[in-house]
Amino acid sequence: MIRISKKVEYALMALKFISNSEHKLVTAREISDKGNIPYDLLSKILQKLKNENILISNQGTNGGYSMNKRPDEIPLFSLMNVIDGETAIAECLMDNSVKDCCLTDSCSIKNPVTVLQKEVEELFKKKTISDFV
């Protein structure tokens, strides 16, 4: 199955929310409440986005998050990588796939699968967060 994880969906919703609140900090609680998103889970996601310099965070009372990049500077592809880690269309294509796929040698379709991988990547790289805002 091909899908966008809940986490990525939450990230998109959060980024949309923050983008639309220019010039004022937005708290995780706020996003969680308005978007019906589990607070703890959302916190983790926002933390990751902050660590990747997509968001800026301010701790303490009156703290919150704000954008550190324009939505059109954030490809969906990298968002997905940030949130869910390495993304590849087939297991064996993943960089970290040291866990040697038993097919590594016998796979007869690796080339066309690699081509498809490229095409999907292309699509997800062209999409940016601005398409979701």
Residues recorded for the chain: 133
**28 CB-contact burial (10 Å; exposed 0-12 / middle 13-18 / buried 19+):** buried
| Contacts to DNA from residues 96-125, by CB under 7 A | 102
Binding-site member from 29, 34, 118, 125 for a second copy (CB under 8 A) = 34
The 10 Å CB-count burial string (b at 16+, else e) for 67-97 is bebebeebbbbbbbebbeeebbbbebbbeee
If the CB atoms of residues 25 and 113 are measured against ligand FES, the closer one turns out to be 113
Position 72 contacts a second copy (CB under 8 A) = no
If phi > 0 it is left, if psi is from -120 to 50 it is alpha, else beta; for residue 84 that is alpha
If the CB atoms of residues 66 and 114 are measured against DNA, the closer one turns out to be 66
Position 115 contacts ligand FES (CB under 6 A) = no
- Residues in a beta bridge with 55: 67
Position 9 contacts ligand FES (CB under 6 A) = yes
Nearest to 68 by CA among 43, 41, 46, 44: 46
Cα-Cα-Cα-Cα dihedral of 111, 4, 131, 59, to 10°?
-120
Among a second copy, DNA, ligand FES, none, partner that 82 touches (CB below 5 to 8 angstroms by kind) = none
| Contacts to ligand FES from residues 73-102, by CB under 6 A | 90, 92, 101
Position 97 contacts a second copy (CB under 8 A) = no
Task: State the residues that interact with ligand FES by CB under 6 A.
Answer: 9, 90, 92, 101, 103, 107, 109-110, 113
Task: State the residues that interact with a second copy by CB under 8 A.
Answer: 1-6, 9, 12-13, 16-17, 34-37, 76, 80, 84-91, 102-103, 105-109, 112-113, 115-116, 119-120, 123-124, 127, 131-132
